Chain A
Amino acid sequence: NAGVTQTPKFRILKIGQSMTLQCTQDMNHNYMYWYRQDPGMGLKLIYYSVGAGITDKGEVPNGYNVSRSTTEDFPLRLELAAPSQTSVYFCASRSTSAHEQYFGPGTRLTVT
């Protein structure tokens, strides 16, 4: 049982490039979330999903897109990378019947 896995662990992008951050969970959780964490700060919700085929915006969705074609996968897409998107990105999941969110190890993204 791997829990929540994220790839890549680190990435450097040039301004204007695109990339997809991958997130997979093997706990059959319906709820999945994407957060960003800026240095020394808490986490801000980018997008979330309550099940396959359903996604919704969080607090800071601009510049990002998501899809949820399966229960297991919840990729985050950056279309035109900007320096303001330099951050650590965390994916999380939780079951319908519990409060606890399980987090992946994060992806550290630098846009220069």
Chain B
Amino acid sequence: TQLLEQSPQFLSIQEGENLTVYCNSSSVFSSLQWYRQEPGEGPVLLVTVVTGGEVKKLKRLTFQFGDARKDSSLHITAAQPGDTGLYLCAGGTNFGNEKLTFGTGTRLTIIP
């Protein structure tokens, strides 16, 4: 069974601060996705990374896929209250018949 551990599990910071969320596994994934989930809703995709060492930026969010494709990080610069939510990483294998393994989640709260 593949496992994805996220850290921290909970994070509460002031508006304007920077933060990093980590997603680690002992397994290799062909792709790594990050989703954000708000209360009462389903997860919504933020980004997909597929190449070891890949870095993608989405406004104030920076995503990195580890060189060995076993880990990933999400960095948020100048956090805003709208960033509040549950962040989930998900590792994919075998793109043609892809099933995702979801991480344990990081619940982020940005205090105004």
Contacts and interface: CB of A to CB of B under 8 A. Distances in A.
B103 interface: yes
B65 interface: no
A92 interface: yes
Interface residues of B, number: 26
Interface in A90-109: 90, 92, 94, 99-101, 103-106
A48 B45 CA distance: 19
A103 B99 CA distance: 14
A43 B88 contact: yes
Contact of B42 (A31, A45, A92): A92
Which residue among A45, A100, A101, A106 has the maximum number of chain B CB atoms within 10 Å of its CB?
A: A101
A34 to B, nearest CB: 12
A58 B99 contact: yes
Given A42-B88, A99-B31, A105 B105 contact: no
A103 B43 contact: yes
3 smallest A-B Cβ distances: which pairs? A103-B42, A42-B102, A43-B102
B69 interface: no
A2 to B, nearest CB: 13
A50 interface: yes
Interface of A: 4, 31, 33, 35, 40-45, 48, 50, 58-59, 90, 92, 94, 99-101, 103-106
A45 B92 CA distance: 12
Contacts of B88: 42-43
Given A59-B1, A99-B48, A100-B33, A41 B104 contact: yes
A101 B100 contact: yes
